Amino acid sequence: MTRLNGKTAVITGGATGIGLAAAKRFIEEGAFVFIFGRRQDALDAAVADLGANARAVKGSVSDEADLDRLYAAVKAERGTLDIVFANAGAGGPLPLGQITAEHIDEAFDTNVKGTIFTVQKALPLMGPGGSIILTGSSAGTTGAPGFTAYSASKAAVRNLARTWAEDLKGTGIRVNVLSPGPTATELAKAALGEEGQKAYGAMTPLQRMGDPAEIGAAAAFLASSDSSFMTGSEVAVDGGLAQL
């Protein structure tokens, strides 16, 4: 497939999990991909896996200077940018009654502030036909016990797409949300273990966890012209978890 032939993409949180799976799919479909993440070892391993059409930039989406370096690298090598997958996310469980300011800041600095500046700083490099994809979550629709800050931040991400679809009128740039549910990423496997993954997957009508490659395939659809009449939308790839 060559739906993304000649396109340049940025994927934040691109060294592992959903971001890495999306990078693989984008490259398979012809894109040149810059992955962005905080761990140099993971970035190095990802680029070695992805091959010649991948570059890595180390940094955090919550640090504007790091984002500036990312987009300077894109401009220097590619000149323009076609796809932004604002995928970096953070936030763990903490039940109501134990929530701290630091816990809230961790989730919102990455998931909301980080998403806003990832997109805003990309816009000068983008033009008509550009696609912006934000990573939401089934938790942003249903809520999730113990995940106050994370769930609220992902609900905010859903609204960013609605707001930006209005803000981007006339530019030819689209913005949509990709909302995964239970997904068998490295982080989920480590946190839940085999039995925990079975239990979480069993909560979905499809009775299983999703594969990161399945989320990456949906991201490629939103990145491509196959979704050219979509903006402000949410694509749920959650096994039906938040749909019933």
pTM: 0.95
| Each residue's pLDDT tens digit, 87-129 | 999 988 999 999 999 999 999 999 999 999 999 999 999 999 9
Is residue 101 domain-resident?
yes
Is residue 2 domain-resident?
no
Structure confidence at residue 196 as a pLDDT band (50, 70, 90): confident
CA distance 243 to 205: 9
Is residue 105 domain-resident?
yes
pLDDT, average across residues 38-47: 98
> Catalytic: 154?
yes
CA angle 191, 94, 144 (to 5 degrees): 75
Which CATH number is 81's domain given?
3.40.50.720
Is residue 3 domain-resident?
no
CA distance 222 to 201: 25
| Each residue's pLDDT tens digit, 123-178 | 999 999 999 999 999 999 998 889 999 999 999 999 999 999 999 999 999 999 99
Is residue 70 domain-resident?
yes
Is residue 242 domain-resident?
no
Number of domains in the chain: 1
Structure confidence at residue 195 as a pLDDT band (50, 70, 90): confident
- Among 121, 154, 189, 198, the one annotated catalytic: 154
Q: What is the structure's pLDDT at 143?
A: 82
Farthest-apart Cα atoms in the chain, separation: 51
Structure confidence at residue 37 as a pLDDT band (50, 70, 90): very high
Q: Determine the structural domain holding residue 48 and report its residue range.
A: 8-237
| Each residue's pLDDT tens digit, 211-231 | 999 999 999 999 999 999 999
- Among 7, 24, 71, 150, the one annotated catalytic: 150
Is residue 244 domain-resident?
no
> Catalytic: 150?
yes
- The H or E element containing residue 144 is none
